[in-house]
Amino acid sequence: MASTVIVGGGIIGIATAYYLSEHQPGSSIHLVDSSATLFASASGFAGGFLARDWFHEDLASLGPLSFDEHEKLAKQFDGREKWLYAKSVTVNYELPRRRPKGSTGQDWLREGGSRADVIEERGEVKDRNSPPWLRRIKGDALSLLDNGEGTAVLDPLKLCQFLLERCRAAGVRIHNPAVVLNVGADCHDELSYVHIGDTYHSVYTSMDDFSPEIYARPNGHIWLGGVNASLRLPPLATSAKPMDAPLEKLKNLAKQIIRTDGDELEVLRTGLCFRPVSERGTPYVTRIEDVDLRQGYRTRKGSDGGVYVATGHGPWGISLSLGTAKVMAEMMQGRELSADISKLGYWP
């Protein structure tokens, strides 16, 4: 069997290696990452929010597949304990002030809005759906986005570490720090930069200048993020360091909206996440045709060769990771695809 080389050891890369290893010898799979420490950016520091159907219509098949794969993996390997997987009631929280105009569809990230704005139908929040740790004030409002059937949370770092452990046990070869010398950026350099942009609860809200996201995990930790910035992608993921001003903004927000009963909030980890976003707003999950490789490159036909790309998932990299990885493995191995990804191809 031909060897498979995966360039990039984030959650989609490591999950693809995992799914490949279920159908081919692990020793034929090589995972290459340029950083000395794996999962040093979004795959290790993201909030880990999962949704079944909060996506553009082009992702209508991949979204539910990935959500179901997350649940299936958690049931199979005790994900509740190992990577803090849990279904999550999701609400939108509005402070008693003028609510900033939200953005919808696939433009919300570039426009700095909340991804909760893509949900048009909202319900009344019952007692069990109100986060007990949320500090309520007079005049605020909660609306229900999901009752816990279509949204969930997990710790992406712990999930990545679990997948890495499974890959190593299967014999997958991990190369880091290492670089693949003969793979360059695409002709338009589009893919080499990012564009910035027992009941558990996820909360979305909008402030004057940013849209925070707050997720409660089963171990009692609360993840808080949502301050965007326009930053150039560093050469290595380990070079991404949090900035003081956004961190202070998040800490101040935490003090305002998280009820502590007089206790001090403890900051356990901080991180900076880069989210690759394509110009069209949806990811690329596809095989690149030889003609688009330029420079006269030719690959073997069918499952014996090829160059495949999975990138541009924006804020949905964790949520779509397992579905993307499963489909990528199926595509590489010439098997029937579990989701319709016909709208996620590359057309230069």
Is it the case that residue 102 has pLDDT exceeding 60?
no
Q: What's the confidence (pLDDT) of residue 89?
A: 94
Sheet holding 4-7, edge to edge: 4-7, 29-32, 173-175
pLDDT band, very low/low/confident/very high, at 128 (cuts 50, 70, 90): low
How big is the CA angle at 337 (ends 24 and 17), to the nearest 5 degrees? 35
Q: How many Å apart are CA 326 and CA 72, to the nearest integer? A: 13
**CATH for 4-344?**
3.50.50.60
pLDDT band, very low/low/confident/very high, at 32 (cuts 50, 70, 90): very high
H helix or E strand, kind and range, residue 110 = none
Q: How many Å apart are CA 32 and CA 183, to the nearest integer? A: 12
The mean pLDDT of the chain is 86
Q: Which residue's structure tokens are 């340029």?
A: 34
Query: Any idea what DSSP says for residue 154?
Result: -
Question: In the chain, what percentage of residues exceed pLDDT 70?
Answer: 85
Instruction: Give me 338's structure tokens.
Output: 């579990």
* pLDDT tens, residue by residue, 37-84: 999 999 999 999 999 999 999 999 999 999 999 999 999 999 999 999
Instruction: Give me 275's structure tokens.
Output: 């989210």
Quote the distance between the C-alpha of residue 321 and its chain's center: 7
Residue, of 188 and 171, whose pLDDT is higher: 171
Q: Which residue's structure tokens are 């081919």?
A: 24
Is it the case that residue 173 has pLDDT exceeding 70?
yes
